[in-house]
Amino acid sequence: MSDTEFDVVGIGNAIVDVLAQAEDAFLEQHGLAKGAMTIVDADTAEKIYGLMGSGIEMSGGSAANTMAGIASLGGAGAFIGKVCKDQLGEVFSHDIRAAGVSFTTAPDENGAPTARCLICVTPDAERTMQTFLGACVDLGPEDVDDQVISASKVVYLEGYLWDPPRAKEAFIKAAKAAEQAGRQVALSLSDPFCVDRHREEFLDLVDNHVNILFANEDEIKSLYQVDEFDDALQQVRGHCDIAALTRSSQGSVVVAGDEVHVLDAEKVVDVVDTTGAGDAYAAGFLYGLTQGEDIAICGRMGGILAAEIISHYGARAESDLKSVLNEKLK
């Protein structure tokens, strides 16, 4: 790991989140799959938005949130993702750069607008997401700069990239460039429904390209189509160098070869909104890893960041993450 400009380069959907509070009855009434991320077309997105309450807009996107978190911790990060040259695209570009992340992917001049994710936050702090991919569908291999990839210790990808048609080509290109340069490839499985949609490809990826896998309990069980977490854990061992498996209030389990670390969750006084918990975990973990920390410490760092994110509304940090981390790791 030498001659690198970036600790991590993330590739993902470039999305602006629209968050609004909603009751469970609202989800039921409109047939929204609670806790899931559902891809919707422009018309459906407009219809659902029209039904939602007053919202707040914040930059989002899974890998983009992770990169913003890494940069906030002091890590050097870059992001590759596609926005349109519109107002929401400006918001996304501004925010990720303001967080300290290098973002140079050319925006679409025309075509579909910048992606948005309509997030209903229910009183139990669960988020239900409807994503209109918009300009994200135009991300392709031409947007992946091999030099940025080979200049990064880790290439981090979100499983959601398998939804837009050409993004997986971008990912394969990036994974190969990373392998050639001797860098590591990390993947987040993103969402159990996303795993359902792309299981065969994800299994192949994990076997052949991925060094570091992030998944929550539902996702890893979905990947291996098993009912018990422990069965999934046994399956994933040996398929990648490191698997970091998150279990909400039960903390996380980190596996690397023969090493298994079972880490308790950080205490959270008031869980407000779970949007971005997995993204934040990956940020803490990858920051630790690229700073040379042991994987147990990386897992703790992930847990600390996830606890910060779920204690407020929205998927990006409200606090000085570096101080939070230093305080908790004392």
What residue ranges bind a copy of itself (CB under 8 A)? 20, 49-50, 52-59, 68, 86-88, 91, 94-96, 98-99, 113, 314, 316
If the CB atoms of residues 208 and 319 are measured against a copy of itself, the closer one turns out to be 319
If the CB atoms of residues 99 and 220 are measured against a copy of itself, the closer one turns out to be 99
Name the minimum Å distance from CB 316 to a copy of itself.
Answer: 6
If the CB atoms of residues 85 and 247 are measured against a copy of itself, the closer one turns out to be 85
Distances (CA, A) of 78 to 3, 13, 93, 101, 288: 15, 14, 12, 5, 17
Name the minimum Å distance from CB 83 to a copy of itself.
Answer: 12
If the CB atoms of residues 115 and 189 are measured against a copy of itself, the closer one turns out to be 115
Name the minimum Å distance from CB 89 to a copy of itself.
Answer: 9
Name the minimum Å distance from CB 160 to a copy of itself.
Answer: 21
Q: With beta carbons less than 8 A apart as the criterion, state whether 11 and 61 touch.
A: no
If the CB atoms of residues 59 and 184 are measured against a copy of itself, the closer one turns out to be 59
3-state secondary structure the chain: CCCCCEEEEEECCCEEEEEEECCHHHHHHCCCCCCCEEECCHHHHHHHHHHCCCCEEEECCHHHHHHHHHHHCCCCEEEECCCECCHHHHHHHHHHHHCCCEECCCCECCCCCCEEEEEEECCCCCEEEEEECHHHHHCCHHHCCHHHHHCEEEEEEEHHHHCCCCHHHHHHHHHHHHHHCCCEEEEECCCHHHHHHCHHHHHHHHHHCCCEEEEEHHHHHHHHCCCCHHHHHHHHECCECEEEEECHHHCEEEEECCEEEEECCCCCCCCCCCCCHHHHHHHHHHHHHHCCCCHHHHHHHHHHHHHHHHCCCCCCCCCCHHHHHHHHHC
Name the minimum Å distance from CB 270 to a copy of itself.
Answer: 13
If the CB atoms of residues 59 and 290 are measured against a copy of itself, the closer one turns out to be 59
Name the minimum Å distance from CB 96 to a copy of itself.
Answer: 8
Distance, in Å, from the CA atom of 257 to the CA atom of 93, rounded to the nearest integer, reads: 39
Name the minimum Å distance from CB 148 to a copy of itself.
Answer: 22
If the CB atoms of residues 54 and 249 are measured against a copy of itself, the closer one turns out to be 54
Name the minimum Å distance from CB 283 to a copy of itself.
Answer: 14
Q: What residue type is 255 in one-letter code? A: V
3-state secondary structure 256-282: ECCEEEEECCCCCCCCCCCCCHHHHHH
If the CB atoms of residues 96 and 178 are measured against a copy of itself, the closer one turns out to be 96
Name the minimum Å distance from CB 207 to a copy of itself.
Answer: 37
If the CB atoms of residues 19 and 301 are measured against a copy of itself, the closer one turns out to be 19
